[in-house]
């Protein structure tokens, strides 16, 4: 849609009515709960779409979203409303626990040749699943039997994750030895950037995924799931629904890890808590 008016919207022109409509629409399509105090955030993020589409007002945008022609825009709206903060080796203790505790125990309990399957369920621009890949490659070997599925609701950050190219500043948390082993330094027009090597990337599969959709793009279950810093954007009923869906995708004895700012306290779930942010599904060997 291209509106006749191209006046850029100011951040104080989003009415309460339109704000509530946008919040409800985002909730229906992503289960992200924006609450009543995010008007400035919603205004600024939606303004990006208005400028790109050359729509002159929030009201015009909302009216368009109510039409059949505006339905394709819903994905873009959810995209701009998604928060995608991440970095390599974020919440590093999780990776240390994985390497020191979970992986040795898993190897002891499984036959040679078994495949370790992990899922980064909100992978953003890729730093989390590539960090996970580095840890698995260090433990099992770059040619070992392990796979990672990585998913996100945002097509924008997924494209960046699949490109696997990062500025030098972004890869600073990666230890120098691991940086040399798993990244290529850019030259020429790519100077100042690094790309994840193909040998590591081949273990990963990326998916555009709404965690609440009925069918997932994979049928297998996982030994390990990252779902970090996701639940903080959902209300309690949505959190319970999410944990239930993730538990279904875990192998018996598999582990779910949430963010350090999150907890399953007060949420009905069947998992056993091992540490503050680490949970295990019953059915596997201790």
Task: Please give the positions annotated as active site.
Answer: 45, 152
Query: Going by C-beta distance under 8 Å and a sequence separation of 6 or more, which residues neighbour residue 175?
Result: none
- Among 118, 144, 135, 150, smallest CA distance to 254 is for 118
pLDDT at 227: 95
pLDDT at 229: 87
Superfamily of segment(s) 92-280 = Vaccinia Virus protein VP39 (3.40.50.150)
Fold that domain 16-81 belongs to in CATH: Chemotaxis Receptor Methyltransferase Cher; domain 1 (1.10.155)
pLDDT at 285: 54
Per-residue pLDDT of the chain (286 residues), as tens digits, is 444 444 444 444 888 888 889 988 888 888 887 877 788 888 888 888 888 888 888 989 999 888 888 888 888 888 888 776 789 999 999 999 999 999 999 999 999 889 999 999 999 999 999 999 999 999 999 999 999 999 998 888 999 999 999 999 999 999 999 999 999 998 888 889 999 999 999 999 999 999 998 889 999 999 999 999 888 888 888 999 999 999 999 999 999 999 888 889 888 899 999 998 999 999 765 4
pLDDT at 138: 97
Provide φ and ψ at 274, rounded to 5°.
-100, -40
Sequence ranges of the chain with CATH classification 1.10.155.10 = 16-81
Q: Could you identify the residue written with the tokens 């704000």?
A: 19
Sequence ranges of the chain with CATH classification 3.40.50.150 = 92-280
pLDDT at 75: 81
pLDDT at 166: 96
β-pairing, 193-196 vs 165-167, is antiparallel
Q: SS in 3 state form for the chain?
A: CCCCCCCCCCCCCCCHHHHHHHHHHHHHHHCCCCCCCCHHHHHHHHHHHHHHHCCCCHHHHHHHHCCHHHHHHHHHHHHHHCCCCCCCCCCHHHHHHHHHHHHHHHHHHCCCCCCEEEEECCCCCCHHHHHHHHHHHHHHCCCCCEEEEEEECCHHHHHHHHHCEEECCCCCCCCHHHHHHHEEECCHHHCCEEEECHHHHCCEEEEECCCCCCCCCCCCCEEEEEECCCHHHCCHHHHHHHHHHHHHCEEEEEEEEECCCCCCCCCCCCCEEEECCEEECCCCCC
């Amino acid at each position: 849609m291209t509106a006749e008016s191209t006046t850029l919207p100011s951040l104080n022109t989003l009415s309460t009515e339109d704000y509530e409509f946008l919040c409800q629409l985002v909730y229906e399509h992503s289960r992200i709960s924006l609450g009543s105090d995010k008007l400035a955030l919603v205004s600024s993020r939606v303004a990006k779409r208005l400028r790109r589409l050359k729509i002159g007002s929030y009201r015009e945008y909302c009216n368009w979203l109510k039409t059949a022609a505006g339905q394709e825009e819903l994905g873009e709206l959810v995209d701009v409303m998604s928060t995608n903060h991440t970095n390599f080796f974020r919440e590093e203790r999780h990776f240390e626990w994985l390497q020191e505790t979970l992986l040795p125990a898993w190897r002891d309990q499984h036959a040679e040749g078994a495949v370790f399957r992990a899922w980064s369920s909100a992978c953003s621009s890729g730093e989390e699943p590539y960090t996970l890949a580095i840890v698995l490659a260090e433990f099992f070997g770059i040619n070992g039997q392990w796979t990672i599925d990585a998913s996100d609701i945002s097509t924008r950050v997924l494209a960046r994750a699949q490109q696997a190219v990062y500025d030098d500043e972004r890869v600073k948390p990666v230890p120098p030895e691991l940086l040399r082993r798993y990244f290529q330094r850019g030259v020429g027009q790519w100077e100042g950037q690094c790309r994840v090597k193909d040998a590591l990337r081949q273990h990963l599969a990326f998916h555009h995924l709404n965690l609440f959709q009925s069918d997932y793009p994979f049928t297998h279950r996982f030994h390990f799931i990252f779902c970090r810093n996701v639940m903080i954007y959902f209300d309690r009923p949505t959190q319970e629904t999410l944990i239930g869906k993730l538990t279904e995708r875990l192998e018996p004895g598999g582990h779910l890890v949430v963010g350090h700012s999150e907890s399953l306290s007060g949420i009905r779930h069947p998992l056993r808590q091992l540490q503050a942010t680490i949970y295990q599904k019953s059915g596997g060997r201790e």
